[in-house]
């Protein structure tokens, strides 16, 4: 009895259709929001493949974070796109891996790294005085300059040489600007004495 009930519940879940709200609707472009829990990251690639392989779909994007589906379609196929999305059963979603899914993972990793860099920068600006930050930046830049010089001495002309030259020039200009600023401050102090 309980097995039959579980089987019927699974069947109902498979048959449950995707609900959505139309967020943006202009000819040839349709943005739908299915909700944050309509599908998860594992199903993005399947949905993208399912929607994208239709002949009337020009391009599609799927985002599990907010349950968003963006579809660019050929003129006259608006209702076909809506019927396609409405006909997707939540229980029929599959997990597949595609290069686009891998790209999405790389994007998510990049976003996480970018957030970390911004957070570290803000914390450094709050916690460390400016002279120490400048020294840290200068010392970090020396490794790029050293790598560029060693690559150039090895007879190669690569991006490392360009990086070393640009970081070296930037460090030199910043050091010169700081030296001028400090000399100006010294002159002002001597005037007051």
In this prediction, residue 7 carries a pLDDT of 53
Spatial neighbors of 146 by CB under 8 A, at least 6 apart, are: 164
Report the C-alpha gap between 111 and 1 in whole angstroms: 49
d(CA 144, CA 170): 12
Give the pLDDT confidence score for residue 3 in this predicted structure: 60
Amino acid 2: pLDDT = 59
Q: What is the pLDDT along the chain (193 residues), one digit of tens a residue?
A: 556 655 554 554 445 567 788 888 899 999 998 877 777 777 777 788 888 888 999 999 988 888 889 999 999 999 998 888 888 776 666 666 656 556 667 778 888 899 999 999 999 999 999 888 888 888 888 999 999 999 999 998 889 999 989 988 887 777 777 667 777 777 777 776 6
Rg (CA), the chain: 28
Distance in angstroms (rounded) separating the CA atoms of residues 99 and 53:
15
Q: What angle do CA 183, 186, 191 make, to 5 degrees?
A: 130
**What fold is seen in the domain 2-96?**
Gyrase A; domain 2 (3.30.1360)
Report whether 17 contacts 86 (CB < 8 A): yes
Q: How far apart are the first and last CA of the chain?
A: 97
Calpha distance 99→28 (Å, rounded): 26
Q: What is the pLDDT of residue 41?
A: 76
Helix axes 99-127, 130-153, angle to 10 degrees: 130
């Amino acid at each position: 009895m309980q097995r039959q009930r579980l089987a019927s519940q699974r069947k109902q879940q498979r048959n449950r259709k995707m609900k959505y709200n139309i967020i943006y609707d202009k000819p040839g472009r349709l943005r739908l929001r299915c909700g944050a829990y309509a599908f998860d990251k594992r199903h993005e690639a399947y949905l993208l493949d399912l929607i994208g392989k239709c002949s009337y779909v020009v391009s599609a994007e799927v985002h599990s974070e907010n349950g968003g589906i963006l579809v660019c379609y050929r003129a006259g196929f608006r209702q076909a796109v809506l019927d396609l999305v409405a006909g997707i059963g939540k229980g029929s979603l599959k997990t597949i891996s595609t290069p686009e899914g891998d790209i999405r993972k790389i994007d998510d990793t990049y976003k996480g790294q970018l957030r970390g860099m911004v957070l570290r920068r803000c914390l450094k600006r709050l916690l460390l005085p400016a002279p120490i930050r400048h020294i840290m930046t200068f010392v970090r830049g020396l490794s790029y300059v050293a790598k560029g010089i060693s690559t150039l001495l090895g007879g190669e002309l690569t991006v490392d040489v360009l990086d070393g030259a640009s970081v070296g020039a930037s460090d030199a200009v910043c050091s010169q600007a700081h030296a001028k600023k400090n000399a100006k401050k010294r002159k002002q102090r001597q005037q007051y004495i």
